[in-house]
Amino acid sequence: MTTLTVKLGERSYPIFIQPSLLTQANKLADYIKTNKAVLVTNTVVDPLYSQTIINSLPDIEIQKIVIADGEQYKNLASFEHVITQLLSMSAARDTTLIALGGGVIGDLTGFVAASFQRGMPFIQIPTTLLSQVDSSVGGKTAVNHPLGKNMIGAFYQPKAVFIDTTTLQTLPSKEFSAGMAEVIKYGIIYDKAFFEWLERNTAQLISQDVDALQHAIARCCEIKAEIVAIDERESGLRALLNLGHTFGHAIEAEQGYGNWLHGEAVSAGMVLAAQAGQMKGWMSEKEVQRIIALLEAFALPIAPPTEMNYQTFMQHMVHDKKVQAGKLNYILPTTIGEAVVTSDLDETLLSALLN
């Protein structure tokens, strides 16, 4: 088992990473304050893993809330549904929520936990690669609005994160590839050596070699934990984790949530960001091509939908959370392993890039 810690003082918490971790779900009991918990999951994950967790916690009364699967259900209607179910179950402030699923379940459950009776404990059990390396760690919780992604939410940290790498064996290949976009992101913004390791170990990751997966997931969580410990509420350094997201969120909103997977949209967005960095004179063409080649190796899109242009992107990006003082901030790589936050992208450059 790999064990990491997100260091946030009294709100610090562990991340456990291990194959077949859910068969040892009794470890969860250490992070459940009372003998009551509510498992929140979706219709795809529920038949795969819920009963394993319930069976492993015989001394804890576990009730279950199951929502439909898909990004389109990460909304206020689902938020209200979960709240209503908790009220009907007579859940209390000390009832522990267990988020079992991908990023949608984790984000939704975390936002419910932050809001129900002004805060209840929750545990993350991410079952997709994207959620294991990114959304389950760091305390960002939210639901989407038709005008923008993750527009309604809160910073709220879990009590623990349990990552069972074996769950990736039931993940569709398209979802696995989408998760690799976030893995590659860490190399681009923060760790050149890790990016080079990904280039060398592409085949092992595609074949889901146990050791390669464990290393990749652990390194991503390590970087995320380090950044969050420095900048929990995204006032500076943490913004770098949004590489590709400003463009990517616009793609998701325009195409309809769920039609492009989040990781697919981020992949295309990271290429746009790298190309913008090249246009600014920061990135070399060779580095941009290396990024494109690595994304393509995992069958990820490297361009946005052909029907989207400057006007289409901007009508969504004006609602982005990174708009400050009327200016939209972009995260651009300056070289592989480093990135900056800048608002210095004029209309001429953006138009050339997005058209």
CATH number at residue 13: 3.40.50.1970
Instruction: Note whether 180 and 132 are within 8 A (CB).
Output: no
* Residue 137, CA distances (Å) to 44, 108, 133, 264, 279 in order: 22, 14, 8, 20, 33
Do both 80 and 138 map to the same domain? Answer: yes
210 and 349 both lie in a single domain: yes
Cα–Cα distances in angstroms (integers) from residue 336 to residues 178, 189, 244, 313, in the given order: 20, 7, 14, 25
Point out the domain boundary residue: 148, 169, 190. Answer: 169
The Cα 167–Cα 177 span in angstroms is: 15
Domain extent for 299:
173-354
234 among known catalytic residues: yes
**327 assigned to active site:** no
The tally of domains found in the chain comes to: 2
pLDDT surpassing 90 at residue 46: yes
One domain, residues 206 and 57: no
Q: Of the candidates 144, 169, 194, which is a domain's last residue?
A: 169
Q: Single out the residue in 135, 169, 203 at which a domain terminates.
A: 169
Round to whole Å and give the CA distance between 255 and 260: 7
Same domain, 110 and 247: no
Phi then psi dihedrals of residue 327, to 5 deg: -115, 140
Q: What is the pLDDT of residues 124-169, one digit of tens each?
A: 999 999 999 999 999 999 999 988 889 999 999 999 999 999 999 9
Q: Based on C-alpha coordinates, what's the Rg of the chain?
A: 20
Does 7 qualify as catalytic in the annotation? no
Q: What is the distance between the alpha carbons of residues 87 and 82, in angstroms, rounded to a whole number? A: 9
193, with CB counted inside 10 A (0-12, 13-18, 19+), is: exposed
Are 188 and 329 found together in one domain? yes
Q: How far is CA 178 from CA 182, 205, 213, 274, 327, in A?
A: 8, 13, 15, 18, 29
Quickly tell me which residue has 């390396």 as its tokens.
Answer: 133
CATH of the domain at 303: 1.20.1090.10
Q: Looking at the structure, tell me whether residues 221 and 325 fall in a common domain.
A: yes
Q: With bands split at pLDDT 50, 70 and 90, how would you rate the model's confidence at 321?
A: low
Catalytic, 245? Answer yes
Q: Which of 249, 316, 321, 322 is catalytic?
A: 249
pLDDT band at 323 (very low <50, low <70, confident <90, very high): low
- Selecting among 242, 252, 264, 321, the annotated active-site residue is 242
- Average confidence (pLDDT) over 20-40: 90
Check whether residue 162 and residue 194 sit in a common domain: no
At 331, which helix (H) or strand (E)? strand 330-335
Residue 11's pLDDT is 95
The model's pTM is 0.92
How far is 340 from 243, CA to CA, in rounded Å?
9
Kindly state whether residues 207 and 156 are assigned to the same domain: no
> Does residue 148 share a domain with residue 290?
no
Q: Please identify which of the residues 71, 175, 232, 234 carries the catalytic annotation.
A: 234
CB 126 within 8 A of CB 96: no
Q: Is 319 assigned a catalytic role?
A: no
Residues in contact with 233: Cβ distance below 8 Å, sequence separation at least 6, in sequence order: 155
215 is catalytic: no
Angle at 233 between CA 239 and CA 218, to 5 degrees: 70
Tens digits of residue pLDDT in 180-199: 999 999 999 999 999 999 99
Catalytic, 201? Answer no
Mark whether 242 is an active-site residue: yes
